[in-house]
Amino acid sequence: MLSARSLFQEIIDNDASFQLFCSIAASGETQGGWENGRIAALIPDSQRELAPKIARHGADEDKHGRIFNALMKRRGLTPVNVPEDTDYTLLLEKRGVGLAHEQLRRDERLSEADIVTYLAHSRVTEQRAAEQMVMLRTYFADHPVIGKAVTMISNDEDNHLAYCHEELLRLAREGHARLIQRTLHDCALAEIRVYRDVSLAVMARMGRILNWPKPKSAALAVGIHAIYAYERLGGWRRMASLKMPARRNALSGPPTSAAEFA
Ligand SMILES: [Fe+2]
Ligand SMILES: [Fe+2]
């Protein structure tokens, strides 16, 4: 039977597919950490209070990167290069989603509109991250190797998503509502395409590593296209809506330790 659970079980059980999966995840998390660190450093004065939360957001993503690297190391594996067609963060940037790395490398203060762009991009991508981690947590919370990591990261991603909702609602009240709405709409539509393309590329590589028969790979590709069709037809709206979260101020305080993974 082709299920998300059996697919991930296969990917986790094989060294080469596990190595690719963890390398892709670690690289995305680390890039997210770097972006957040730069944004915290370049924050405009009017949004000063947000700086510690953005720094915490970045510290969490860096921690996730270290966790995925530690999972590989424990198994005697080293990270492999992330192929460009599987690089979610890079492809989003190329589509113009979020703040460009070139801008973040410059030592110029960001504007309030840039902060809206950052938060809208995060609101969309953190929803994706949170949903994927919920899926992994559902199946693998008790897994001896990845269970603890999945549970911790999933909790963090839920916090990130709550924080994005809360801060975007605050900025909407402060007069940025239309810009936020437009940015969320554009980000969500770009993200669902990138997610589809990256899913197809990752699954094609996994299929080669794990010698999947053609019908299995074909069925998976059909599934990925079906998810895209659903998201394009309206599923994207769940990534662009705003609702005050039950968890308030989710990113106050220092990040939770991941010492056991270091
Ligand atoms: Fe993360
Ligand atoms: Fe996150």
Give the model's pLDDT for residue 1: 60
**pLDDT, tens digit (0-9, with 9 covering 90-100), for 111-143:** 999 999 999 999 999 999 999 999 999 999 999
Nearest Cα to Cα of residue 132 among 208, 222, 199: 199
Which ligand places an atom closest to the C-alpha of 123? 2
Distance 126 CA to ligand 1 centre (A): 8
Measure CA of the first residue to CA of the last residue in the chain; give whole Å.
36
Q: How would you write 45-77 as a 3-class SS string?
A: HHHHHHHHHHHHHHHHHHHHHHHHHHHHHHCCC
What is residue 133's three-state secondary structure? helix
- Inter-CA distances, 9 with 4, 134, 156, 201, Å: 8, 16, 23, 19
Per the structure block, which two tokens stand in for 250? 């989710």
Distance 156 CA to ligand 2 centre (A): 7
How far is the C-alpha of 201 from the C-alpha of 83, rounded, in Å? Answer: 9
Distance 123 CA to ligand 2 centre (A): 9
Give the model's pLDDT for residue 100: 95
Q: What is the pTM of this model?
A: 0.95
Nearest Cα to Cα of residue 203 among 155, 195, 118: 195
Give the model's pLDDT for residue 257: 76
Distance 206 CA to ligand 1 centre (A): 22
Give the model's pLDDT for residue 228: 98
Distance 133 CA to ligand 2 centre (A): 10
CB atoms within 10 A of CB 49: 10
Distance 196 CA to ligand 1 centre (A): 19
Distance 183 CA to ligand 1 centre (A): 22
Which ligand places an atom closest to the C-alpha of 157? 2
Length of the chain: 262
Distance 163 CA to ligand 1 centre (A): 13
Query: Dmax over Cα atoms in the chain, in whole Å?
Result: 56
Distance 138 CA to ligand 2 centre (A): 18
Distance 215 CA to ligand 2 centre (A): 34
Which ligand places an atom closest to the C-alpha of 65? 1
How far is the C-alpha of 156 from the C-alpha of 120, rounded, in Å? Answer: 18
Which ligand places an atom closest to the C-alpha of 26? 1
Pair 227, 123: CB distance under 8 Å: no
Give the model's pLDDT for residue 260: 67
Q: List the chain residues with pLDDT less than 70.
A: 1, 260-262
Distance 61 CA to ligand 2 centre (A): 6
Give the model's pLDDT for residue 50: 96
CB atoms within 10 A of CB 210: 16
Distance 27 CA to ligand 2 centre (A): 13
How far is the C-alpha of 73 from the C-alpha of 243, rounded, in Å? Answer: 39
Q: For domain 4-261, is the CATH number 1.10.287? A: no
Distance 136 CA to ligand 1 centre (A): 13
Which ligand places an atom closest to the C-alpha of 62? 1
Q: Residue 188, exposed/middle/buried by CB under 10 A (0-12, 13-18, 19+)?
A: buried
Per the structure block, which two tokens stand in for 176? 């940025």
79: left (phi over 0), alpha (psi -120 to 50) or beta: beta
Exposure string of 68-81, with b = 16+ CB inside 10 Å and e = fewer, is bbbbbeeeebebee
**Average model confidence (pLDDT) for the chain?**
95
Q: Where in the chain are the domains?
A: 4-261
Distance 123 CA to ligand 1 centre (A): 13
